[in-house]
Amino acid sequence: MNFSDFKLDDRINQGIESIGFEKPTPVQELAIPEILSGNDLIACAQTGTGKTAAYVLPLLHGILTQKERSGNIKALIIAPTRELAVQIDQQLEGFSYFAPVSSIAVYGGGSGTDFEVEKKAIKTGAEVLIATPGRLISHINSGYVNFDRLKYLILDEADRMLDMGFQPDILKIISFLPKNRQTLLFSATMPSDIRAFAKKILNNPNEINLAVSKPAENVLQAAYMAYDNQKIALVKKLITGKELPSVLIFSATKASVKDLERELLRLKMNVKAIHSDLEQEQRKEVLRQFRNREIQVLVATDIVSRGIDIDDISLVINYNVPQDAEDYVHRVGRTARADKTGVAITFINQKEVRNFTNIEKLIGSEIRKLPLPPEIGEGPDFNTRSPHKRRFVKRRPGRKGN
């Protein structure tokens, strides 16, 4: 499927092209036609799946093709955090580069001047309002927000908003909106409280559910419990003396990637690092050398995990447990491509056990924990209780209110 199949307004297609998206992602393929048909929608999709464009594109199309385009709020997007609000606004600006649609993101934490700028944009007719709940209520309470022409309400990361206690605020905001509107709810998870909430605010919604990806069956996955100071020796042990032409090691930050490159060079390994401090041309060159097997070991941050397409990586090492379980799937997906078998090994330190169990939950299976080679010493236990358990101190009776 191509973006042109959605028959979006040409000016939007131009925006998509200039941003460089070539094909719709699965959530876009499913959600865009549903939204264009005018139905309410519940979409279970995580960040990273392309969910923002999945609602922004049909929304822009709806606004651009409206008969009457008086400058008033047509769409309200509610998001849990200022970071997400800003990201949504940036994507929207990109897609509407060739189309006259105005937007403003309103969120807390800024100065009084910001509030005045937001107020002016709202009063003078921004068509898309992207807002965090508390800030929007402050504007509504000031009396100048006019939702009479609103056609779309989008709740993004709804599960997170409920976790953050925003349900009453959102219901209050909705009480100011016209009943005749299209409502879209996006959420990474669908627990029962989200379903109950959705029932209150959506009208006969359709539902789409994106199954999370899993590593291919032919990847052999295993893990070691290891303290940080044991990890270099473990990498050396895993690689040296073996027939492993291409090894990809992921580490969390560019600083740790650079450190690891230095340590492995000291061990005389044929290694290079790739991270966001390198220029595009330098990155390309490192990847070319890795592809041609001039370099045996590539150390990388997650920028590489989604982007590169290199066959025949014999071993992927996760030097740390990725924060986001989906990143694990992307990293591990670099091996065993195209019917080949591959091995993915993760190092888990004592603080990362919980994150690792989240990965096991996501992929629906337990990953085998191997004992460390004896010369490396004992690693930490695989203990799922937090190492930083809070201690509660009981108050002594009879000493109130000090």
Residues of this chain that bind ligand AMP (CB under 6 A):
21, 23-25, 28, 47-53
Minimum Å gap between C-beta 250 and ligand AMP is 19
**Of 306 and 354, which CB lies nearer to ligand AMP in the complex structure?**
306
- Minimum distance from residue 245 beta carbon to ligand AMP (Å): 30
The structure tokens listed for 374 are: 């004896």
Q: What are phi and psi of 360, to 5 degrees?
A: -60, -35
Distance CA 271, CA 266 (A): 10
| 25 Cβ contact list (under 8 Å, min separation 6) | 49, 50, 53, 54
For ligand AMP, the closer CB: 54 or 63: 54
Separation in Å, CA 188 to CA 2, 140, 291, 321: 25, 28, 35, 21
Q: Are 330 and 302 in contact (CB under 8 A)?
A: yes
Nearest by Cα to 349 from 221, 231, 222: 231
Report the nearest approach of ligand AMP to the CB of residue 326 (Å). 10
* Cα–Cα–Cα angle for 212, 218, 224, rounded to 5 degrees: 85
Residue with Cβ nearer ligand AMP (85 or 372) = 85
Shortest spacing between CB 335 and ligand AMP, in angstroms: 23
Q: How far is the CB of 149 from ligand AMP (least distance, A)?
A: 26
Say how far residue 357 (Cα) sits from the centre of its chain.
19
Min separation Cβ 52 and ligand AMP, Å: 3
User: Residue 304 CB, nearest distance to ligand AMP (Å)?
Assistant: 15
Q: Between 14 and 47, name the residue whose CB sits nearer to ligand AMP.
A: 47
Helix 353-363 crosses helix 325-332 at what angle (to 10 degrees)? 70
Euclidean distance between CA atoms 383 and 395, whole angstroms = 30
Q: Count CB atoms within 10 A of the CB of residue 46.
A: 18
Q: Smaller CB distance to ligand AMP: residue 49 or 314? A: 49
Please identify, using beta-carbon distances, which residue of 17 and 116 lies nearer to ligand AMP: 17
C-beta closer to ligand AMP: residue 118 or 157: 157
Tally of residues, the chain: 402
